Structure 1
Amino acid sequence: MITQKARKKQAVVKYAEKSGKSSASRMYGVSLSSIKRWCKRYDGTWQSLLERSHRPNSHPKRHTAKEEKQIKNSFRKCYARYGWDGVYSDLLRKKYTRSFSGMVYAAKRMGLTEQKKPPKKSREQRRYPELLEPGEKVQIDVKEVPYNCLRGKTLRDGKHLYQWTAIDECTRMRFVYGFEEHTPENTVRFLAMVIKAFPFKIKTIQTDNGTEFTYKFISDERISPFDKVLNKLGIKHKLIPPRTPWHNGKVERSHRNDQRYFYDWETFRSVEELNEKLEKHLIWSNNKTMRTLGRKSPIQLLAEKLAT
């Protein structure tokens, strides 16, 4: 259906063809340059006078062909396992300089889109005090390695494997290690590894109330091996309330990421193989950019904190 603007333009063009462009300009109050442009476009149909898009054909800051190729390669390599964060981290290692949002926009424009997910219900955001220094508080927890990841002799002998995790609340720097037994003695061994691995002094360690950490709910007189070592080192031990794992939310979230990015893809025949693969996964996770850190990795943020 012809629009009112197209009808007017057609009338102006026909008048200009009959009486001249200058006369049409005075008659209809339209600039001479517009009339010339309309006459040039007019092919006898009103459709040729419809409004055209003013959007530019190109943008000076658009991704180059080389950058688009990098995005495609990183998407194919990393997206299925590591998501957009993994794609962006892989690109940064290739000297990619664009923002995270710019990368996602370019990828979607190229048709590299993920399946749409139903929107999540928004929940009230709780504000916690910001920890300004590395080592102010370190969360430690234990995750049992999923049964379907076990293979070979470990599976045949009915053994279990466990992952100990320590995460610094300030920088999200992590250390992980696997053991065959879920015992307080292994927690003490893990603590020694954490102190050696983290390049900062630990002031507080926060854990749940499992017997690998505390004997608080077993005996008022007995002190767990873990507490004995912490007292000797002068490190404060903070226990979360019973049945409130969300108070250890950072280490719990890191365990969910381990499940998604690691355990859903790997299998293990022994604790040695578990630790060999965990070491590679730890390097990746400590160098992975995070939205909560302003698109910096734990390694980058730690370097900044230690430099100040």
Structure 2
Amino acid sequence: MLASNILTYSDFLKDSKEPLEIRKAMVARFKDLKSITAVALEFNTTRKTVRKWVGRFKGHISSLKNHSKAPITPHLQIKDETRELIIKFRKERPSLGYCYVVSYLNQQGCTEIPSAATVYAIWKKNRLLKRHYKKSEKKKDCRAIKQKYLAFEKIQIDVKELTDIPNYLEQSLALKKKKDLNRKYGLPMYQYTARDLKTGALFVSLAHEHTRHNSSIFVDMLLTHLKRFDVVPRTIQTDNGTEFVNTRDALADTLFKQVVRRNGITRHKTIPPGAKTWQSEVETSHWIIEKELYDYVKAPNIGNLVKKMRAYQWGFNTLRKNGYRGDITPLESLRNEQNKNYATLHKKIMDFPSCILDKKFNQFIKAGYHVGLVTKNPLIKPYFSA
């Protein structure tokens, strides 16, 4: 990374309290230059700052977060007994406020009466307060920003675990018992999901295991599918899960990253640690699929499940209207694109071949990773054999 000669590290701090990517780039640059002074000059900051973040980096990006400056043992901290009474009161009487807390503490013979700010801070820390959004916060809407993207320019990918869905779990255990399977569950318990930020188009596959290989197979199939229609995404966005990144060394490469970047155009981007709202599109789709499919689906076997999943995916992309996007389907959103190359794409682009990713592992390795996968050879037309 080449730092700007105009912006300094302190300038980035004005826009973000924790510029983790800048700090990570600083550490990576130090590994290349092996010089604190050279990195400090390049990033327009002090040697002390560079030395601090190089020393703190433990391989994972969360080690570059700010440390808390709060005292370990505050001298004005209230007693544990008083704290427990305040929490107990809120759980029993969630609609009553501070004045009633004071009366309750007096009735319990409590000798210290904390301030209203302290009481509400305790409730907030223990998640006993209902959050009230300001009018300005309610007006914050990313739809205008999302409309500036091209279709399939930015895609979010995530993995959903299916073990907490009663209807689905019951059928999975029944199938395992019926067929006397060696694995823990009869049906695949992980859903690999990709969703386009602009149109809301959904692409889904299933897997028995939550692994980096399955993530790589999924993104390879997705990029291959889009490439057939001459579409190349600019960004694949994921969280910081082990199926996507190397959590022990955030600077190290992974198989998933190699597959994403192979065409020389698409780049892999991770969200800040804990910032789940950055994946709101794909997370919302998980909730929708659970309520509309998994809570009601009847799947006597895996083949039947995959067919129903693909049918649901097709309906989601071509028939189901999305109120958030103006009460239109993802296909209609694609047809409304100003760029005619996208607006005239064949609707089969919405028909991603859902599959069981674990079954593609052998073809995935033979097709070439560690060297190259199916999408590396433009002459290869079909997907892995079904």
- For 1:162 and 1:266, the matched residues in 2 are separated by 16
Match of 2:149 in 1: 132
Q: What amino acid does structure 2 have at the position aligned with 1:179?
A: A
- For 2:301 and 2:237, the matched residues in 1 are separated by 29
Q: Which runs of 5+ in 1 are unaligned?
A: 1-119
Query: What does the per-residue CA deviation read over 1:259-288, in whole Å, with 9 as the maximum and x for residues that have no partner?
Result: 111111114455433322110110111121
- Are 1:168 and 2:190 counterparts? no
- Are 1:307 and 2:340 counterparts? no
Query: What does the per-residue CA deviation read over 1:234-274, in whole Å, with 9 as the maximum and x for residues that have no partner?
Result: 31111111112111000000111001111111144554333
Distance 1:297 1:167, change over 3 A: same
Instruction: Determine if contact 1:208/1:239 at 8 Å carries over to the other structure.
Output: yes
Distance 1:220 1:289, change over 3 A: closer
- Within the candidate set 170, 179, 184, 2:212 is matched to 184
Structure 1 residue 195: deviation in Å?
1.8
- Are 1:236 and 2:253 counterparts? no
- Are 1:266 and 2:302 counterparts? no
Q: What amino acid does structure 1 have at the position aligned with 2:152?
A: G
- Are 1:248 and 2:279 counterparts? yes
Match of 2:160 in 1: 143
Structure 1 residue 127: deviation in Å?
3.5
Q: What amino acid does structure 1 have at the position aligned with 2:333?
A: L
Instruction: Determine if contact 1:187/1:226 at 8 Å carries over to the other structure.
Output: yes
**Residue aligned with 1:282, SS:** helix
Segment drifting more, 220-229 vs 149-158? 149-158
- For 2:151 and 2:176, the matched residues in 1 are separated by 37
Distance 1:307 1:284, change over 3 A: closer
**Residue aligned with 1:247, SS:** helix
Instruction: Determine if contact 2:219/2:260 at 8 Å carries over to the other structure.
Output: no
Segment drifting more, 248-257 vs 126-135? 126-135
Match of 1:295 in 2: 327
Match of 1:227 in 2: 257
Match of 2:106 in 1: none
- Are 1:158 and 2:184 counterparts? yes
Identity of aligned residues (%): 29
- For 1:285 and 1:202, the matched residues in 2 are separated by 21
Length-normalised TM-score, structure 1: 0.56
Q: What amino acid does structure 2 have at the position aligned with 1:284?
A: G
Instruction: Determine if contact 1:154/1:269 at 8 Å carries over to the other structure.
Output: no
Distance 1:268 1:145, change over 3 A: farther
Structure 1 residue 223: deviation in Å?
1.6
Match of 2:96 in 1: none
- 1:11-50 → structure 2 map (5 Å cutoff): none
**Residue aligned with 2:278, SS:** helix
- For 1:267 and 1:171, the matched residues in 2 are separated by 29
Structure 1 residue 153: deviation in Å?
3.2
Structure 1 residue 307: deviation in Å?
2.8
Q: What amino acid does structure 1 have at the position aligned with 2:184?
A: G
- For 1:140 and 1:208, the matched residues in 2 are separated by 8
- For 1:183 and 1:269, the matched residues in 2 are separated by 25
Q: What amino acid does structure 2 have at the position aligned with 1:125?
A: K
- 1:195-206 → structure 2 map (5 Å cutoff): 195-198=223-226, 199=229, 200-206=231-237
Structure 1 residue 304: deviation in Å?
2.9
- For 1:145 and 1:256, the matched residues in 2 are separated by 11
**Residue aligned with 2:336, SS:** helix
**Residue aligned with 2:139, SS:** coil
Structure 1 residue 295: deviation in Å?
1.8
Instruction: Determine if contact 1:209/1:239 at 8 Å carries over to the other structure.
Output: yes
Match of 1:218 in 2: 248
Instruction: Determine if contact 1:140/1:205 at 8 Å carries over to the other structure.
Output: yes
**Residue aligned with 1:141, SS:** strand
Instruction: Determine if contact 1:161/1:271 at 8 Å carries over to the other structure.
Output: no
Length-normalised TM-score, structure 2: 0.45
Distance 1:168 1:202, change over 3 A: same
Query: What does the per-residue CA deviation read over 1:112-147, in whole Å, with 9 as the maximum and x for residues that have no partner?
Result: xxxxxxxx9775232432333112210000111245
Structure 1 residue 220: deviation in Å?
4.5
Instruction: Determine if contact 2:191/2:205 at 8 Å carries over to the other structure.
Output: yes
**Residue aligned with 1:139, SS:** strand
Instruction: Determine if contact 1:179/1:271 at 8 Å carries over to the other structure.
Output: no
Query: What does the per-residue CA deviation read over 1:11-33, in whole Å, with 9 as the maximum and x for residues that have no partner?
Result: xxxxxxxxxxxxxxxxxxxxxxx
Instruction: Determine if contact 1:187/1:212 at 8 Å carries over to the other structure.
Output: yes
Q: What amino acid does structure 2 have at the position aligned with 1:158?
A: K
Q: Which runs of 5+ in 2 are unaligned?
A: 1-131, 345-386
Distance 1:272 1:227, change over 3 A: same
